[in-house]
Homo-oligomer: A and B are copies of this chain.
Amino acid sequence: MKILITGAAGMIGRKLAERLAKDGALNGRPIDAMILTDVVPPEKPAGFSGKIALRTDDLPAPGVAETLIAERPDVIFHLASVVSGEAELDFDKGYRVNLEGMQHLLAAIRAQGKDYHPKFVFTSSIAVYGAPFPPAIHDEFHLTPLTSYGTQKAMCELLLADYNRRGFLDGVGIRLPTICVRPGKPNKAASGFFSNIIREPLAGHEAVLPVKETVVHTHATPRAAVGFLVHAAGLTREQLGPRINLAMPGVCCTVGEQIEALRRVAGDKVVARIRREPDELVIRIVAGWSERIDAARAKALGFKAEETFDEIIRTHIEDELGGKIAA
């Protein structure tokens, strides 16, 4: 079993490579080789005994996708993506990386001919949805993205479904909810505060809450996201049917409920590190975001997220803080 991961230096890509290295197998078959590629050099995951290629590539550049696919990976995890904010600021770069990168990969697969038929796991996003929303976003709700990033993801989903239908590959597209708690430094993404208000207080730092506590959102941990990817790779054509793009489950809760979970898990002193500082820009951006995601099909297909926000926090403490909370 040979695996290709694009965007392998990103947060989820790194964790996926580590998980696969640790498992040593996927879909019950041993992993002999991994190709990890990204625009910045990917790291070698610990403990992997198979063959590994660490590549620094500009995916949409001529010939790159062809070179990667010439290795005939059995499973492709396509995570490489310009993020939402950057795709909005740099229109051309967003379409080049997010749409053309995907188009090149798919065309390279098709060009290999009929005896090559990989599993293709595409990471989409809940950014494919655009307000106004129903009380919960169900599996048949239309995609009307309000960002270029969401548009590119939705276009890629359509393209993947057509390649799947035509039999060039076995595709599955998974719409990740907001990943929380994101490890690392606070960033300027409008969604950053969902993680900041948990991660920073747990590490002994102050965090700013720019929105009201009534804001509702859907969250899953990095560990759950990696679980979605691995689970997606194991689904068959028969299980998925023709609608291969689907929303992933997550914990739907208010910011107030996030904070109460933090209090239960870590205590009042940690919660006291959250500072309310309304930010009109963030408030306006967040108002356009999806709130509750139903994800009935994904759950029926066996995708599993955390059950409670308490569990999300505990997973973060285990995976990122070695079990320790700053006093």
- Identify A165's interface contact among B146, B155, B165, B242, CB under 8 A: B146
In whole Å, how far is A222's beta carbon from the nearest beta carbon of chain B? 28
In contact, A242 and B151 (Cβ under 8 angstroms): no
Q: Which residues of the other chain, B, contact A142 by a CB distance below 8 angstroms?
A: 139-143
- Whether B130 and A145, one on each chain, are in contact in the complex, defined by CB atoms closer than 8 angstroms, is no
Given contacts A130-B242, A151-B158, A158-B151, contact A91 B166 (CB under 8 A): yes
Specify which of A91, A139, A162 lies most central, judged by the most chain B CB atoms within 10 Å of its CB.
Answer: A162
CB contact between A154 and one of B110, B145, B158, B243 (< 8 Å): that residue = B158
List residues 74-120 of chain A with CB under 8 A from any CB of chain B: 91, 110
Q: Mark A134-151, 1 if CB is under 8 A from B, else 0.
A: 100001111111101001
23 contacts between A and B (CB under 8 A): A91-B110, A91-B166, A130-B242, A134-B140, A139-B142, A140-B141, A141-B142, A142-B142, A142-B143, A143-B143, A144-B242, A145-B158, A145-B162, A146-B165, A146-B242, A148-B162, A148-B166, A151-B158, A151-B161, A151-B162, A154-B158, A155-B155, A158-B158
Which residues of A pack against B, CB within 8 Å?
Answer: 91, 110, 130, 134, 139-146, 148, 151, 154-155, 158-159, 161-162, 165-166, 242-243
